[in-house]
Amino acid sequence: MRESLVGLLEALGHAVRSFSSAREFRGALTTDAAGVLIVDMYMPEETGLELCQSLFRDGIRMPIIFMTAHADVTTAVAAMKSGAIEFLEKPFDRQTLVAHVEKAVALGREWRDREQQFAALDDRIARLSRVDRETLELILAGETNKRMAAMLDLTERAVELRRQRLMQRLETRSLAELMEFAVTHRVLREIRQIPDSPHQRRGTGDS
């Protein structure tokens, strides 16, 4: 079955790599891998679910399509929690697989774009000092310069200078832009905790 899947996906224009076991796949995997993983639930040495869970623990995220001849709700739920986006019960038709692969490819691009955006924001956040971070948190809490000055035992001018320095380091030009930056970073950080993060490689597991 593995060979037929490779032929089908290559005929559709996808670059495909095939692996006979989870160990072989892991040996070729890199942390910046990109693509979609199609894996059988039951493989030699290690199950597809075990592979998926180990990738998740290692921080490697990719859209995963599971195939199995023996589906059950418990296994399907465990697979989804570890990053699977589809769970196909054998036998399935060509159109179903193709539709799921196209969906996974598009989702993978979306994840990579989101990860790149987060990395760019995170790089700027990393430049901030403790004072900068304190200032940012107070701004996000909606505190005015006057309130911040009272809370920090500073003059309003000193608070304004803090705010200006923070905006320079985050490369923002206005308070509205600063707020948008911080909220976007926080949202992306929270999303990354969901098994839906974007490091992908396209391949096929053994059947």
Residue ranges and CATH numbers for the domains of the chain are 2-112+195-204 (3.40.50.2300), 121-191 (1.10.10.10)
Buried b (16+ CB within 10 A) or exposed e, 89-113: eeeeeeeebeebbeebbebbeebbe
pLDDT given for residue 157 in this prediction? 96
Q: Are 204 and 16 in contact (CB under 8 A)?
A: yes
Residue 169's H or E segment, with its range, is helix 156-169
- Tokens coding 25: 């796949």
Report the predicted TM-score, pTM, of the whole model to 2 decimal places: 0.61
Residue 174's H or E segment, with its range, is none
Angle between helices 156-169 and 130-140 (to 10 degrees): 100
pLDDT mean by block of 10 residues, the chain; 207 residues:
84 88 85 80 82 82 84 77 80 88 89 83 88 92 94 96 93 87 78 47 40
Hey, is 89 helix, strand or coil? strand
pLDDT given for residue 200 in this prediction? 37
